[in-house]
Amino acid sequence: MRIARWTRDGDDTSEGFVIGDRVVPFPDGLTVGDVLARGLAETHRLFAAVEEADGAALADVRLLAPLVPASIRDFVAFEEHVEGVSASVDGKSEVVPEWYEAPTFYFTNPHTVLGPGEVLRPPVSARLDFELEVAAVIGGPGGANLTADDAAGVIFGYTIMNDWSARDLQSREMKVRLGPAKGKDFGTSLGPWIVTADELAPFLDDDGFLAVRAEVFVNDERIGHDLVSNMGWPFPELIAYASRNSRVVPGDVLGSGTIGNGGCLAELWGRRGELTPPPVTDGDTVRMVVEGIGELAGPVGGAVEAPELPPARERSRARSRRERVAQ
């Protein structure tokens, strides 16, 4: 099954199934969020109820991001990516020993999600980059302190994720040992739809890794390609770790991290010691293709100037107002 959100001729958002070359709304006005909470078994029953229903032609609608995420966690699960991008962002190519101990992630902004074909308006950056990822979407019931086996059961489906990155901003921020923040939170593209986990089960290898091919193109030139199964941990283990002393809930999105072998420009910059290929810029289109899921394309628009903020003020470090006045 393919789950999507769409609009047609400026109408309100519709949510439902992509069935062949048409889109069919969920019954009873249900939303993607409702369906995720109900889980896969109930979604199959909903699909059976509308499978033969009339719908709109897929070609006549504009697809939106396939869900409104409850949260977005983004992992860094590809060793090859870490090797290359560390040189570009941190000035030193390495995979620190701590990377191997546990699957590290950060939270990014669920309020700046873009859908298929939606124009990215980035911050002013001399090193704008993309990141090709596959993301797992959590369905009901979610849970806390899950085992990997339990976590496999809450994967509702998968979508393509483009973690847009301003590498110059990211590099500056992470020198403070916190982040990334403004180097990342201006845009994350998701789409074109959610493919349910059962559809991709044939691609799981004997160790539970999702062995689908992923490719990324800039203006139709292929920049990188890899197998998603080259992750250091399979998705159920990423989800189990995310739930440790915490909770994952329906609608959570968990990105795999950027594939290796050119899944982003920064990896290539780090390996080559120069900005080749060049950063993406206004007028470029980034297109990502993942076997079994589909294609997600996103054009880049003009940069947005932000209001200036002053640097940190020098402060007295007085510990009381009286002491401060005396200074």
Residues 185-216: tens digit of each pLDDT = 999 999 999 999 999 999 999 999 999 999 99
Here the tokens at position 35 are 């369906």
pLDDT of 91 reads 75
Task: Provide the pLDDT confidence category of residue 323 given band limits of 50, 70 and 90.
Answer: confident
Q: Which two tokens stand for residue 212?
A: 């689908």
Strand partners, 106: 74
pLDDT in tens, 122-160: 999 999 999 999 999 999 999 999 999 999 999 999 999
Mark whether 45 and 83 lie in a shared domain: no
Q: Are residues 146 and 206 in the same domain?
A: yes
Q: What is the pLDDT of residue 324?
A: 77
Q: Are residues 155 and 230 in the same domain?
A: yes
Range of the domain at 75: 71-299
The helix or strand, by DSSP H or E, that contains position 14, with its residue range, turns out to be strand 14-19
For residue 322, what pLDDT band results from cuts at 50, 70 and 90? confident
- Of 63, 81, 101, the position where a domain reaches its end is 63
Residue 326 has pLDDT above 80, yes or no: no
The answer to whether residue 314 is domain-embedded is: no
Q: Which CATH number is 192's domain given?
A: 3.90.850.10
Sequence-separated (6 or more) residues with CB below 8 Å from residue 67: 3, 5, 32, 33, 36, 137, 190, 194, 251, 253
Q: Are residues 50 and 145 in the same domain?
A: no
Query: By the 8 A CB rule, do 7 and 13 touch?
Result: yes
Q: Which residue has the tokens 């990377």?
A: 99
- Does any domain span residue 307? no
90 & 195 share domain: yes
Note the pLDDT tens digit of each residue in 35-85.
999 999 999 999 999 999 999 999 999 999 999 999 999 999 999 999 999
In the chain, count of helices (H) and strands (E)? 9, 18
215 and 188 within one domain: yes
**pLDDT (0 to 100) of residue 294:** 98
**Looking at the whole model, is its pTM more than 0.95?**
yes
Identify the pLDDT of residue 88.
Answer: 78
My answer on whether 148 and 259 are in the same domain is: yes
Please give the Cα distance from 35 to 82 (Å, whole number). Answer: 36
Mean pLDDT of the chain: 96
pLDDT at position 59: 97
Res. 90: pLDDT tops 80? no
What are 290's two structure tokens? 């993942």
Looking at the structure, tell me whether residues 53 and 107 fall in a common domain: no
* Claim to verify: residue 100 and residue 175 sit in the same structural domain: yes
Torsion angles phi and psi, residue 7, rounded to 5: -135, 155
Whether residue 323 lies inside any domain: the answer is: no
Taking a C-beta distance cutoff of 8 angstroms, is the pair 233, 79 a contact?
no
pLDDT band at 89 (very low <50, low <70, confident <90, very high): confident
DSSP letter at 171 equals H
Compute the distance between CA of residue 152 and CA of residue 312 in angstroms, rounded to an integer: 46
CB 188 within 8 A of CB 176: no
Region at 156 (left for phi over 0; alpha for psi -120 to 50; beta for the rest): alpha
* 232 inside domain: yes
Would you say residue 304 lies in a domain?
A: no
Residues 37 and 77 in one domain: no
Could you tell me if residue 321 is inside a domain? no
Is residue 313 domain-resident?
no
pLDDT at 100 over 90: yes
Q: How many domains does the chain have?
A: 2
Task: Examine residue 194 and state whether it is found in any structural domain, yes or no.
Answer: yes
By DSSP bridging, strand 155-163 and strand 188-196 are antiparallel
What token pair was written down for 46?
Answer: 């909903």
Q: Quick one: 264 and 196 in the same domain?
A: yes
Is 81 found in the same domain as 36?
no
Neighbours of 98 (CB within 10 A): 8
Nearest CA-CA partner of 74 in 16, 119, 7, 132? 132
With b meaning 16 or more CB within 10 Å and e meaning fewer, what string describes 46-60?
bbeebeeeebbebee
